[in-house]
Amino acid sequence: MNHSFNDYTMKTLHLIVLFICSSVGFAYAQNSLLGVKGEGPVITQNRSTQAFDAIDVSNDADVYITQGSSPSIRVEGQQNILDVLKTEVEGKRLKIHYGRINVRKHEPVKVYVTTAMLTSVHISGSSSVKSESVWDLRHEDFESKISGSGNMQLKIREADQVKSSISGSGNMTLGGNCNALDVHISGSGNANAFDLVAGNVDASITGSGNCRVNVQESLKVHTSGSGDVRYKGNPKSINKRSTGSGGVTKES
């Protein structure tokens, strides 16, 4: 009798566990395929974080970054959207994304980030990143990258080498000063670095993108397509090579 009862109980438990797992799996699949639509009012969350010095954004969030001694993250958005918004640090790199969840129409998602140092910012998709303060890079290298239609506005100071690239239709605006600036544009993106005073500039454009730089010592340009490079300053040397209708022009 007890043996039969135990068998019955175990079978019931197995069915309950199977049902729960199936329900969770179905809900996850539904969110992944059909997507999550924003519901309810906009709320604010403070999230704990480890130290980081690089940021990757691969969703549609608006990210605001500030230099400060203690790392912190504050997010704003609708509750069910924040439930799937991930802010994870992996190898000192903060990753902001939705994972595999398809997020549909919702109120703007804003992420406010504070960190002591910044070595790179990468954007993929339609997100935007804006610096809320001028970043003192203490003669370190810095990398900024856009893949897609994102927008980036950064102010940096005392950087050594700045490497910037745009693949797609994104827009990047840089200000401050650095020893050297390398810019690569592939597609129709635009890089405006008129306010970034650089000693040496190496600019490369493939496609219809446009680049604006402020150079003091040497300017090297390679364009392939209809992209243009405009420059401010009085560089001692200019080396240009163009294939297509693109050109190099001094800004008056």
Pair 19, 83 in one domain: no
User: Mean pLDDT in the chain?
Assistant: 90
pLDDT of residue 24: 42
d(CA 89, CA 226): 40
Pair 179, 215 in one domain: yes
% of residues, the chain, pLDDT over 70: 87
For the chain, count helices (H), then strands (E).
2, 18
Residue 233 pLDDT greater than 50, yes or no: yes
Last residue of a domain, one of 63, 95, 120: 120
- Confirm whether 17 is domain-assigned: yes
Q: Give the pLDDT mean for 246-250.
A: 92
- Confirm whether 98 is domain-assigned: yes
> By residue range, what is the domain housing residue 174?
134-252
Residue 26 pLDDT greater than 80, yes or no: no
Measured in degrees and rounded to the nearest 5, phi and psi for residue 80 equal -70, -20
**pLDDT level of residue 6 (50, 70, 90 thresholds):** low
Pair 105, 54 in one domain: yes
185 token code pair: 């544009």
d(CA 112, CA 67): 11
Pair 170, 158 in one domain: yes
**pLDDT level of residue 164 (50, 70, 90 thresholds):** very high
Q: pTM of the full predicted structure?
A: 0.85
Pair 103, 144 in one domain: no
Q: Are 232 and 215 in contact (CB under 8 A)?
A: yes
Pair 169, 63 in one domain: no
pLDDT tens-digit readout, 74-102 = 999 999 999 999 999 999 999 999 999 99
% of residues, the chain, pLDDT over 90: 81
Pair 171, 95 in one domain: no
pLDDT of residue 207: 93
Q: Are 180 and 200 in contact (CB under 8 A)?
A: yes
pLDDT of residue 244: 85
Last residue of a domain, one of 86, 120, 154: 120
pLDDT of residue 9: 56
Pair 29, 40 in one domain: no
Dihedral over Cα of 66, 69, 72, 74: its sign: negative
Pair 48, 14 in one domain: no
Pair 116, 159 in one domain: no
- Confirm whether 249 is domain-assigned: yes
- Confirm whether 125 is domain-assigned: no
Written as one string, the DSSP assignment of 31-77 is HHHH-B---S-EEEEEE-----SEEEE-SS-EEEEEE-SS-EEEEEE
- Confirm whether 228 is domain-assigned: yes
The size of the chain, in residues, is 252
From residue 27, how far is each of 20, 31, 87, 101 by CA, in Å?
Answer: 11, 6, 22, 11
Q: Who wins on pLDDT, 31 or 218?
A: 218
- Within 10 Å of residue 52's Cβ, how many Cβ atoms? 23
Q: Give the pLDDT mean for 120-142.
A: 95
Task: Give the CATH number of the domain where residue 189 resides.
Answer: 2.160.20.120
**pLDDT level of residue 211 (50, 70, 90 thresholds):** very high
Residue 188 pLDDT greater than 60, yes or no: yes
Residue 31 pLDDT greater than 80, yes or no: no
Pair 150, 116 in one domain: no
d(CA 174, CA 211): 11
User: Residue 114 is which amino acid?
Assistant: T
Pair 241, 146 in one domain: yes
